[in-house]
Amino acid sequence: MTKTNGEEPKTGGRMERFQQGVRKRTLLAKKKVQNITKEDVKSYLFRNAFVLLTVTAVIVGTILGFTLRPYRMSYREVKYFSFPGELLMRMLQMLVLPLIISSLVTGMAALDSKASGKMGMRAVVYYMTTTIIAVVIGIIIVIIIHPGKGTKENMHREGKIVRVTAADAFLDLIRNMFPPNLVEACFKQFKTNYEKRSFKVPIQANETLVGAVINNVSEAMETLTRITEELVPVPGSVNGVNALGLVVFSMCFGFVIGNMKEQGQALREFFDSLNEAIMRLVAVIMCITATAASIGAAGIPQAGLVTMVIVLTSVGLPTDDITLIIAVDWFLDRLRTTTNVLGDSLGAGIVEHLSRHELKNRDVEMGNSVIEENEMKKPYQLIAQDSETEKPIDSETKM
């Protein structure tokens, strides 16, 4: 009985505290609501303009899609509706080239030369491992669920499909990493083409009467050959930004600028300013398109969207259907951000745990350097203090 009597006031006290907390929060909420002004509403709408416009565009686009579906519009009429989204893709593709160069040069220039040691290698191994795991999971899920299967069966794209072997595709990737002309890499990339060529192949004679006759005839008429046709890989090019070559060049260029220290400070500031200006331009383009289109072809200026355009452009895939992803990218980006922050936090903790000895040694070195600097400053203060204290003593002795 005593235990139950002792537990009742504890539970009652907890409930009272909870009720008091709820009352305080409701009172604070009422005060905030009463103190809201028109300027607060305007500032809130201005801060969240991208999200509100995107949600509005998704809703309007969904409504238009369901209402216009029974009319069975032609392909040309559908292209008219997708014209604002096409403008968005063209503007983003225009910004891909300067964005790749400026962002990579800025990032590599900011790295310290000591970052390529053990800690840097551990971080690279961690991110490569997690990326490979994510890619494998994505490929398995795509093979299982077959996304996009059965859509657009009646709509055919112009152009013939060229089959490329896996070896040639892999070699093309390596070739594109080292472009012979940097200016040409801005609008062209290497791609292996195939041509039919004829070859003369000598006929092998059999050990028969016919073979003996053929041997005698071939000796008299030099050789008897057979013409065969074969697909031969030849060097070629396709229109498109060679993003892979620009990435390699920008990383090397940024790493060199970072090692130049004071001499490369001007270039670092230039590319940093260029990167910031391009990102602001992306935000302006997205805002204008979201306001004008309102058919689900706009999104929030996130890095994932630009990265998607860069990847599709670099591998030569069409970017026409990316507008369907942009319509829901504003929501998916929140989930991606949460996952990325969690992964980066775990990566930082793992690298810190594995590199604790290096970090301790670096802290000791930093502490010793600080102590040396303080000791170098102390003699000046002591000399000044001695001179000040000695003056009154001399004056007293003279008296």
Q: Which domains are delineated in the chain? A: 44-145+242-358 (1.10.3860.10), 188-239 (no CATH)
Q: What percent of the chain has pLDDT over 90?
A: 0
Helix (H) or strand (E) holding 237: strand 225-239
**Tell me: the pLDDT tens digits for 273-307?**
877 777 777 666 655 544 443 333 333 445 566 66
The pLDDT of residue 49 is 82
Give CA angle at 225 (219, 227), nearest 5°. 170
Instruction: Determine which of 100-114, 177-191, 260-274 has the lowest per-residue pLDDT on average.
Output: 100-114
pTM: 0.44
Count the Cβ atoms, other than its own, within 10 Å of residue 17.
10
Inter-CA distances, 249 with 100, 181, 255, Å: 10, 11, 10
Residue with tokens 């092998």: 204
Averaged pLDDT, 165-193: 81
d(CA 138, CA 321): 19
d(CA 255, CA 239): 29
Residue with tokens 């009172």: 27
- Using the predicted structure, report yes or no on whether residue 20 has a pLDDT greater than 80: yes
The pLDDT of residue 35 is 79
Instruction: Determine which of 45-54, 147-156, 165-174 has the lowest per-residue pLDDT on average.
Output: 147-156
Averaged pLDDT, 293-322: 54
Instruction: Please give the mean pLDDT across all residues of the chain.
Output: 70
The pLDDT of residue 320 is 63
